[in-house]
C-alpha cells in the first residue's frame, strides 16, 4: 500500500446524530446475543475449556456410583436414581465456577476496555457469556445422564422428565453462575477468584441432599441443607426424572434460583461497573 | 464561564462548528493511593481540532484520557464532552466518542473481520452492514489479507491499525487516541498521521496523547504539555517554540579531531556554550540571531576546518519541554536498561 489511508465516509457529519439516554431493550438483547456469539466462538476455538463439562461428569458419575452405591443403598443400581440427580446438580455447580474465572481473565484483557467505552448495556458483557454458558450446563447434565444410563440408570420420568431435568439444571447453572460472576468481578486476581469460588462451591454442592439422605445429618446441618437452593433442585430433579412428577419441590427450586439471581445480578453488575 | 446551553445535536447546518467545546475539563484530578496522577488539569478542545497531550512516561496522559472516556472514575473536578457531563451522563458520552487505548483492545480469539463485525453489531448495525463496514475498514487499513487470521498472529503494527479501525465503525464525533503511533515503523507512522488528518477533514475532533515531540508538532493544532500530573504549558506548537525563542546551528565535522577547535570558534562568535554531540564528531550551538550561523561557518572555513553537514534548526519541542519542566524528556529511550551500561 502506498496511498494514504482514506477513512470511508460511512455516515453523515459525525455530530449530526441523536443521543439516547438509555439502551432500548431490543438493542440490549442484540448486544447480549452478539457477546454470546463471541463466547461460543471462543469455546469452539479452545475446546480444552469444555473438559469440566465432559470428562468431569463422567469421572464423578463412575466414581461416586461405584464408591457410594454399595455403602449407602446396598447396590449401585438402587443408588443411581438418588445419585444421578445429585451429580447433575454437582457438575452444574462446578461448571458454573468457571464463569467467575473467565470473566476475571476477560476483564484483564484489552477488549473489555473497549466494551466499557462503547454505548452498550452495562449488563451485556456479563450476560453474553452467561448465555453461551447455558450450552455448558446442558452438556454437563446430558453427559451425566448418559453415563448413568450406561451404568444402569432407568429414569422413570421418561424422555420428558429427563428433558425437564436438564432444563432445570441449566436454570440452576445460570442463576448460580451470577454468584461466581460477582466473585470474579470483585476479586483482583484469577487466583483469588479461584480460591473464593471453591469456598462457595463446596458448601453449595455438598451441604445439600445431593449425596446423602438429609435425615442422617445433625439438626443444624439439616437446617443448612434446607435453605440451600441446590437441595431443592436435587429434590425437584428426582421428582421430575424418576417419577415424571411436577411437585412443589420444582416450584421451590425455581424460586430458589430466582432468589439467587435477584440477589447476585445487581451485585455482579455493580462490581463490574465499578471496576477500574 | 457562562452557564452551559443545552447540547444541540442533529442540527441541520453542518458547516459551522458548534460553540460547545468537544472537551471541557475543569480541575481534573485523579489520585491512586497517595500518588496524585492527575493534578488539577484544565483542558478545552474545540470541535474540529487536533489537540495533543504531550508528556513523558508516567505524566498522566493515559489517566486523563481514561477519565474523559468514562473508563476511570473522576476523583476531582469536572469534565464535559459536547456539553454532556462525563460523570452523570456517561452513556451519552460513550455514544459520541471512539477510544483507541494505549494497548490493543481487540479480541485475541477472533479474526480481524470478526472483531470489526462484533463491534459493529454491538453499536447497532445490522449484520450485513457490519460486514460491509468491516470489509471497507479492513481494505482502508491494508488488512484485507489478514482479515481471516486470528489477532494473535497479527504484528504489533497490524494490531494498532485494527484497533483504530475498530474505533471508527460509527464515525464518532470525538476520537481519543492514546499514543497512536507508538510501535509503528516510519512508513506506517506517516500513514497514521495522514489518517488522523483525514478524520479531522471529515469532521471529527481528535484528542491524542504522544510522547513524541515531533508528532505533536506535526499533527496538533494545540498542545498541552503535562509533567507529573500537572499541565505545565499550553498553546500552539509555534507559541510554545517562541517561548524559547532561539534557533540553533548543528554542525557535523569531517574529522572528529577538529571538533574541539570548532567548538572554541563557535563559542567566541555566539553568546552560547556549544554542546558537543554524543559521538564527539559535531556540536550544536544556540543562536540569538540567524546571521550568527554564517559567522560560525565562515570562521570554520577560514580555519580550514572541514564540515560534512550544517543545519539551522528551529527550537524543537524537546527544548520547550526542557525549559518548561527543568528536566529532559525521557521520551526517546525506554527508561529501562538503555541508559545504563
Ligand atoms: N491503575 C493504576 N493504579 C495505580 N497507579 C496508577 C494506575 N494507572 C496509572 N497509575 C500511575 O499514575 C501515573 C500516571 O500514569 P499514566 O498511565 O497516566 O501515565 P502516561 O502519561 O500515560 O505514561 P506512558 O507514557 O508511560 O503511557 C503514573 O505514576 C502511574 O504509575
Ligand atoms: Mg499512557
* Distance of alpha carbon B240 from the chain centroid: 15
- Count the residues in chain B: 341
**How deeply is B302 buried, as exposed, middle or buried, from its count of CB atoms within 10 A (0-12, 13-18, 19+)?**
exposed
Determine, yes or no, domain membership for A227: yes
Interface test with A, best of B69, B90, B124, B180 (most A CBs within 10 A): B124
Query: Is residue B68 domain-shared with residue B98, that is, in the same domain?
Result: yes
Q: What pLDDT is attached to residue B245?
A: 60
Q: Which pLDDT does position A14 carry in this prediction? A: 45
The CA distance from A99 to A106, in Å, is 10
What CATH code is carried by the domain that includes residue B195? 3.40.50.300
Same domain assignment for residues B274 and B222: no
Question: Would you state the pLDDT for residue B18?
Answer: 52
Q: Are strands B247-253 and B282-287 parallel, antiparallel or unpaired?
A: antiparallel
Higher pLDDT, B98 or A274: B98
Mean pLDDT of A239-254: 92
Q: Do B82 and A35 touch (CB under 8 A)?
A: no
Does any CB of chain B come closer than 8 Å to the CB of residue A24? no
Asked if the structure places residue A115 within a domain, the reply is yes
User: How far apart are alpha carbons A68 and A77 in whole angstroms?
Assistant: 11
How far is the centre of ligand 1, averaged over its atoms, from the C-alpha of B24 (Å)?
22
Contacts of B150 (CB under 8 A, 6+ apart): A45, B108, B109, B110, B111
CB contact, 8 Å: A42 with chain B?
yes
The stretch A157-177 carries a mean pLDDT of 95
Q: Total domain count for chain A?
A: 1
Atom of ligand 1 nearest to the CA of B226: 21
Domain membership flag for residue B17: no
What cell was used for B147? Answer: 482479515
Closest chain A residue by Cα to residue B95: A119
- Residue among A137, A110, A106 at smallest CA distance from A124: A106
Nearest to B226 by CA among B28, B50, B71, B21: B28
Angstrom CA distances, B2 to A210, B6, B18, B20, B68, stand at: 68, 12, 16, 12, 22
Position B13 scores a pLDDT of 41
Residues B48 and B188 reside in one and the same domain: yes
CA atoms within 13 A on the CB side of A143: 24
User: Over the stretch B296-326, which tens digit does the pLDDT of each residue have?
Assistant: 999 999 999 999 999 888 776 667 777 777 6
A16 located within any domain:
no
How far B191 CA sits from the closest chain A CA (Å)? 5
Segments forming the whole domain that contains residue B287: 247-314
Task: Mark whether B110 and B190 lie in a shared domain.
Answer: yes
**Domain assignment of residue A33, given as a range:** 25-275
Pairwise CA distance, residues A132 & A51, whole Å: 16
Residue with CA closest to ligand 1 atom 31: B58
**How far is Cα B176 from Cα B169, in angstroms, rounded to an integer?**
14
Q: Is residue A18 part of a domain?
A: no
Nearest CA in chain A to B126: A30
Mark whether B150 and B293 lie in a shared domain. Answer: no
Express each pLDDT in A71-112 by its tens digit: 665 666 778 888 899 999 999 999 998 999 999 988 888 888
pLDDT at position B289 is: 79
Ligand 1 cavity residues, CB under 6 Å: A 276; B 32, 35, 37, 55, 57-63, 102, 211
pLDDT band at A130 (very low <50, low <70, confident <90, very high): very high
CA angle B143, B145, B149 (to 5 degrees): 90
Ligand of minimum distance to the alpha carbon of B66: 1
Q: How far apart are the C-alpha atoms of A233 and A137, rounded to whole Å?
A: 14
CB atoms closer than 10 angstroms to residue B146:
20
> Which residues, in sequence order, are CB contacts of A79 under 8 Å at separation 6+?
A65, A68, A69, A70, A72, A73
Asked whether residue B212 falls in the same domain as residue B280, the answer is: no
Q: Is residue A119 part of a domain?
A: yes
Q: What is the CATH number of the domain that holds B252?
A: 3.30.70.2030
In DSSP notation, A86-146 reads HHHHHHHHHHHHHHHHHHHHHHTSHHHHHHHHSSS-TTHHHHHHHHHHHHHHHHHHHHHHH
What residue ranges of chain B have pLDDT lower than 50?
1-17, 330-341
Q: Classify residue A11: in a domain, yes or no.
A: no
**Residues B120, B30: one domain?**
yes
In angstroms, the CA B123 to CA A39 distance is: 18
Are the beta carbons of B95 and A9 separated by less than 8 Å? no
Among B30, B31, B35, B230, name the best residue to mutate to test ligand 1's pocket (greatest count of ligand atoms within 8 A of Cβ).
B35
Does B270 map to a domain?
yes
The grid coordinates of residue A239 equal 421428582
Q: Cβ–Cβ of A41/B122 closer than 8 Å?
A: no
d(CA B151, CA A44): 16
pLDDT at A2: 38
Grid coordinates representing A238?
428426582
- Residue A106: its chain B contacts at CB < 8 A? none
- B226 and B118 in one domain? yes
Q: Which residues of B221-250 are buried (b: 16+ CB within 10 A; e: fewer)?
A: ebbbbbbbbbbbbbeebeebbeebebbbbb
B15: buried, middle or exposed (CB in 10 Å: 19+, 13-18, 0-12)? exposed
Domain membership of residue A174 (yes or no) is yes
**What are the angstrom distances between the C-alpha of B265 and each of B106, B283, B304, B317?**
57, 12, 12, 27
The model's pTM is 0.81
| Residues A16, B11: C-beta atoms closer than 8 Å | yes
Q: Are residues B174 and B61 in the same domain?
A: yes
Ligand 2 centroid – CA A42 distance (Å) = 29
Tell me if A137 sits within 8 A of A130, measured CB to CB. no
Same domain, B171 and B293: no
Domain membership flag for residue B170? yes
DSSP alpha helix (H) spans, chain B = 61-68, 90-96, 112-122, 127-140, 156-167, 186-201, 213-219, 237-244, 259-269, 291-302, 317-325
Burial of B131 (C-beta count, 10 Å sphere; 0-12/13-18/19+): middle
Residues with CB under 5 A from ligand 2 (ion): B 61-62, 102
Q: Which residue of B has its CA nearest to A22?
A: B91
**Percentage above 70 pLDDT, chain A:** 90
The SS3 of residue B23 is strand
In this structure, of A62-66, A104-108, A148-152, A182-186, the range with the lowest mean pLDDT score is A62-66
Is residue B135 within 8 A of residue B113, CB to CB? The reply is yes
- Flag whether B335 is in a domain: no
d(CA B81, CA B74): 14
Give SS3 for B28: strand
Using DSSP, state whether B2 is helix, strand or coil: coil
A172 is written with which cell numbers? 440452576
The answer for A126, left when phi > 0, alpha when psi is -120 to 50, beta otherwise, is: alpha
Residue A87 covered by a domain: yes
> B150 and B280: one domain?
no
Phi, psi of B48 (to 5 degrees): 90, 0
C-alpha to C-alpha distances, B272 to A170, B109, B302, nearest whole angstrom: 79, 58, 21
Same domain, B290 and B150: no
What's the mean per-residue pLDDT of chain A?
A: 87
Of A19, A38, A113, the CB nearest to B95: A19
What pLDDT does residue A195 have? Answer: 93
Output the pLDDT for position B272.
81
* pLDDT over 70 percentage in chain B: 87
Show the cell assigned to B269: 562568535
Domain count, chain B: 2
Average pLDDT (A170-174) is: 96
Q: Which three cell numbers stand for residue B56?
A: 513523558
DSSP 8-state symbol, A36: H
The pLDDT, as a whole number, for residue B51 is 97
Q: Report CA-CA distances (Å) from A170 to A96, A166, A237.
A: 10, 6, 12
Task: Please determine, for residue A260, whether its predicted confidence score (pLDDT) is greater than 50.
Answer: yes
Angle, nearest 10°, between helix axes A190-206 and A76-107? Answer: 160
DSSP string, A167-186: HHHHHHHHHHHHHHHHHHHH
Amino acid at each position: 500500500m502506498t496511498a494514504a489511508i482514506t477513512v470511508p465516509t460511512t455516515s453523515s457529519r459525525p455530530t449530526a446524530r441523536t443521543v439516547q439516554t438509555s439502551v432500548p431493550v431490543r438493542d440490549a438483547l442484540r448486544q447480549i446475543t452478539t457477546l454470546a456469539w463471541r463466547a461460543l466462538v471462543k469455546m469452539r476455538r479452545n475446546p480444552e475449556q469444555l473438559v469440566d463439562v465432559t470428562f468431569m461428569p463422567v469421572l464423578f458419575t463412575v466414581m461416586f456410583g461405584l464408591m457410594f452405591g454399595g455403602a449407602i443403598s446396598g447396590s449401585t443400581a438402587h443408588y443411581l436414581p438418588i445419585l444421578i440427580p445429585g451429580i447433575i446438580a454437582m457438575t452444574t455447580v462446578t461448571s458454573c465456577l468457571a464463569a467467575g474465572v473467565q470473566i476475571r481473565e476477560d476483564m484483564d484483557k484489552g477488549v473489555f476496555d473497549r466494551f466499557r467505552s462503547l454505548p452498550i448495556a452495562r449488563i451485556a458483557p456479563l450476560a453474553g457469556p452467561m448465555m453461551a454458558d447455558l450450552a455448558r450446563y446442558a452438556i454437563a447434565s446430558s453427559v451425566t445422564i448418559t453415563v448413568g444410563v450406561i451404568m444402569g440408570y432407568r429414569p422413570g420420568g421418561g424422555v420428558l422428565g429427563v428433558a425437564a431435568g436438564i432444563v432445570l439444571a441449566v436454570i440452576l447453572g445460570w442463576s448460580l453462575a451470577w454468584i461466581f460472576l460477582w466473585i470474579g468481578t470483585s476479586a483482583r486476581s484469577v487466583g483469588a477468584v479461584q480460591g473464593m469460588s471453591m469456598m462457595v462451591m463446596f458448601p453449595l454442592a455438598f451441604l445439600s441432599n445431593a449425596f446423602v439422605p438429609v435425615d442422617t445429618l445433625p439438626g443444624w446441618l439439616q437446617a443448612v441443607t434446607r435453605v440451600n437452593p441446590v437441595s431443592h433442585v436435587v429434590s425437584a430433579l428426582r421428582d421430575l426424572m424418576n417419577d415424571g412428577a411436577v411437585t412443589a419441590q420444582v416450584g421451590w427450586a425455581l424460586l430458589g434460583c430466582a432468589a439467587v439471581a435477584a440477589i447476585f445480578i445487581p451485585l455482579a453488575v455493580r462490581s463490574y461497573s465499578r471496576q477500574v | 464561564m457562562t452557564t452551559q446551553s443545552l447540547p444541540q445535536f442533529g442540527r441541520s447546518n453542518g458547516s459551522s462548528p458548534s460553540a460547545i467545546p468537544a472537551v471541557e475539563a475543569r480541575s481534573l484530578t485523579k489520585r491512586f493511593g497517595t500518588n496524585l496522577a492527575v493534578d488539577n488539569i484544565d483542558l478545552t478542545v474545540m470541535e474540529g481540532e487536533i489537540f495533543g497531550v504531550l508528556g513523558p512516561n508516567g505524566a498522566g496522559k493515559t489517566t486523563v484520557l481514561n477519565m474523559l472516556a468514562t473508563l476511570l472514575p473522576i476523583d476531582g473536578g469536572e469534565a464535559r464532552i459536547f456539553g454532556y457531563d462525563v460523570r452523570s451522563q456517561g452513556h451519552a458520552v460513550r455514544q459520541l466518542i471512539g477510544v483507541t487505548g494505549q494497548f490493543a483492545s481487540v479480541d485475541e480469539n477472533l479474526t480481524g473481520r470478526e472483531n470489526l463485525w462484533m463491534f459493529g453489531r454491538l453499536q447497532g448495525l445490522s449484520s450485513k452492514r457490519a460486514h460491509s463496514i468491516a470489509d471497507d475498514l479492513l481494505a482502508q487499513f491494508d488488512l484485507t489479507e489478514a482479515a481471516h487470521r486470528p489477532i494473535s498472529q497479527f504484528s504489533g503494527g497490524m494490531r494498532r491499525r485494527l484497533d483504530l479501525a475498530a474505533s471508527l465503525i460509527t464515525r464518532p464525533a470525538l476520537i481519543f487516541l492514546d499514543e497512536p503511533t507508538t510501535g509503528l515503523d516510519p512508513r506506517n507512522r506517516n500513514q497514521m498521521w495522514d489518517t488522523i488528518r483525514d478524520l479531522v477533514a471529515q469532521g471529527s475532533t481528535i484528542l491524542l496523547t504522544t510522547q513524541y515531540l515531533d508528532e505533536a508538532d506535526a499533527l496538533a493544532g494545540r498542545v498541552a504539555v503535562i509533567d507529573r500530573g500537572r499541565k505545565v504549558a499550553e498553546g500552539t506548537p509555534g507559541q510554545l517554540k517562541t517561548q524559547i525563542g532561539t534557533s540553533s546551528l548543528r554542525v557535523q565535522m569531517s574529522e572528529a579531531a577538529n571538533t574541539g577547535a570548532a567548538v572554541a570558534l563557535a563559542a567566541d562568535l555566539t553568546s552560547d556554550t556549544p554542546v558537543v554531540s554524543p559521538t564527539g564528531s559535531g556540536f550544536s550551538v544556540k543562536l540569538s540571531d540567524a546571521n550568527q550561523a554564517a559567522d560560525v561557518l565562515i570562521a570554520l572555513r577560514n580555519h580550514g576546518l572541514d564540515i560534512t553537514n550544517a543545519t539551522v534548526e528551529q527550537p524543537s519541542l524537546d527544548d520547550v519541554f526542557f525549559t518548561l519542566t527543568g528536566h529532559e524528556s525521557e521520551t526517546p529511550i525506554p527508561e529501562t536498561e538503555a541508559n545504563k551500561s
